Amino acid sequence: MTSMRFANLHIRERFDRETLVLAIAPAIVAIMITGLFVIPNYARALSMQDESQRLEAVSSENITQKNNLQLLERNVASLREEYSHRCRPLAEGTDRDHLLSTITRPTDGTIVREQSIRTSALAQVDGVAIGAPVSRRDVTVEMSASFESIFGVLDAAEGVNQLVTPRSVEIVVTSTPLEQSTSGNATVRATIVFEEWFEHAPAQNPAAPEARR
């Protein structure tokens, strides 16, 4: 009996050890697989995810910068177009006849009865920083003509591709009602003063003599 009891105990202990080994072995294998493969792959996946997020952020920033650049290019093009429509260049100091020839009108005794143009001496303007001295002169136009001719001179001065600013306009009707009914146009006496701007003052700037037409 004692021998059989010891044999049974020995068999049971051996069975328990084998059962324990069989139970622990898969866990150990799982731990080894986790340590050798799962954890490194998980860490690698996290690193790749961080890199992907970083690349997406860089790509988004590049797209934003590209959009901002395109917006700036459109704004610059719009400003250039607006400048070409609203801003006039200053005439060169030696180009002093373009405005005069543009606003001069031939006299015919009816539409334009008389016209005289006087120019003042060029005067340098202080406080204007454009990289070159700026000068200005007054151009005074006196004429007896129809309203259409007077405003034609104003339109012509405005159409000159240089900076010309009207400083004052005085208009007085001089024709009698009988003359108006006969000619159909009222004759007026107008005095117009323009300011003509130049990019630099020439070496000499005498006043031009009065020109009567």
pTM attached to this predicted model: 0.53
What residue type is 195 in one-letter code?
Answer: E
Distance between CA atoms of residues 117 and 213, nearest Å: 9
Q: Which long-range contacts (CB under 8 A, 24 or more apart) does 124-130 make?
A: 124/201, 125/197, 130/90, 130/199
Q: Give the start-to-end residue ranges of the domains of the chain.
A: 1-87, 98-212
Which range has the worst mean pLDDT, 16-20, 32-36, 187-191? 16-20
Tokens representing 1 are 């009996």
Contact 158, 164 (CB under 8 A): yes
The pLDDT assigned to 202 comes to 44
Which range has the worst mean pLDDT, 14-23, 110-119, 122-131, 150-159? 14-23
Q: What is the mean pLDDT of residues 79-104?
A: 75
The pLDDT assigned to 205 comes to 47
Residue 45: pLDDT band (50, 70, 90) is confident
| CATH class of the region 98-212 | alpha beta
